[in-house]
Amino acid sequence: MARLFGTDGVRGRANGDITAELAVELSVGAAHVLGTLGAFGGTRPRAIVARDTRPSGHFLSAAVSAGLASAGIDVLDAEVLPTPGLAYLVQSTGADLGVMISASHNPAPDNGIKFFARGGTKLPDEVENAIEARLGEDWDRPQGTDVGTITRYEGAIEEYVAHLVSTLDRSLEGLTVVADCANGAASISGPEALRRAGATVHIIGDLSDGGLINDGVGSTHLGPLQAAVREHGADIGVAFDGDADRCLAVDADGEIIDGDQIMAILALDLKERGKLHDNTLVVTVMSNLGLKLAMKEHGIVLGQTGVGDRYVLEEMNLGGYSLGGEQSGHVIIAEHATTGDGELTALHLLQRMAETGRTAAELKTVMTRLPQALINVKDVDKAKATIDRGVADAIEAAEKELGETGRVLLRPSGTEPVVRVMVEAPTDEQASEIAERLAVIVQERVGL
Environment class of residue 223 by beta-carbon count within 10 Å: exposed (0-12), middle (13-18) or buried (19+)? Answer: exposed
Residue 98 has a pLDDT of 96
Domains of the chain: 10-154 (3.40.120.10), 159-366 (3.40.120.10), 372-446 (3.30.310.50)
pLDDT at 197: 98
Active-site residue, selected from the candidate residues 104, 219, 322, 328 = 104
Residues 238, 229: Cα–Cα separation, whole Å: 9
Catalytic annotation present for 104? yes
pLDDT of residue 448: 79
pLDDT for the residue 293:
87
Q: Taking a C-beta distance cutoff of 8 angstroms, is the pair 103, 60 a contact?
A: no
What pLDDT is attached to residue 1? 52
The pLDDT tens digits for 168-221 are: 999 999 999 999 999 999 999 999 999 999 999 999 999 877 789 999 999 999
State residue 209's pLDDT score: 75
Interatomic CA distance for residues 113 and 106, integer angstroms:
13
For residues 7-17, one letter each, b for 16 or more C-beta atoms within 10 angstroms of the residue's C-beta and e for the rest, the string is bbbbbbebeee
User: Would you tell me how many other CB atoms lie within 10 Å of the CB of residue 42?
Assistant: 5
- Taking 50 as the pLDDT cut, the residues of the chain under it are 38-39, 41
CA angle in degrees (0–180, nearest 5) for 292-297-298? 100
Ramachandran region, residue 26 (left: φ > 0; alpha: ψ -120 to 50; beta: rest): alpha
CA angle, corner 429, sides to 425 and 431, nearest 5? 35
Distance CA(369)–CA(426), nearest Å, equals: 10
Specify the pLDDT at position 417: 77
SS3 annotation, the chain: CCCCCECCEEEEEECCCECHHHHHHHHHHHHHHHHHCCCCCCCCCEEEEEECCCCHHHHHHHHHHHHHHHCCCEEEEEEECCHHHHHHHHHHHCCCEEEEECCCCCCCCEEEEEEEECCCEECCHHHHHHHHHCCCCCCCCCCHHHCCCEEECCCHHHHHHHHHHHCCCCCCCCCEEEEECCCCCHHHHHHHHHHHCCCEEEEECCCCCHHHCCCCCCCCCCHHHHHHHHHHCCCEEEEECCCCCCEEEEECCCCEECHHHHHHHHHHHHHHCCCCHHHEEEEECCCCHHHHHHHHHCCCEEEEECCCHHHHHHHHHHHCCCEEECCCCCEEECCCCCCCCHHHHHHHHHHHHHHHCCCHHHHHHHCCCCCEEEEEEECECHHHHCCCHHHHHHHHHHHHHHHHHCEEEEEECCCCCEEEEEEECCCHHHHHHHHHHHHHHHHHHHEC
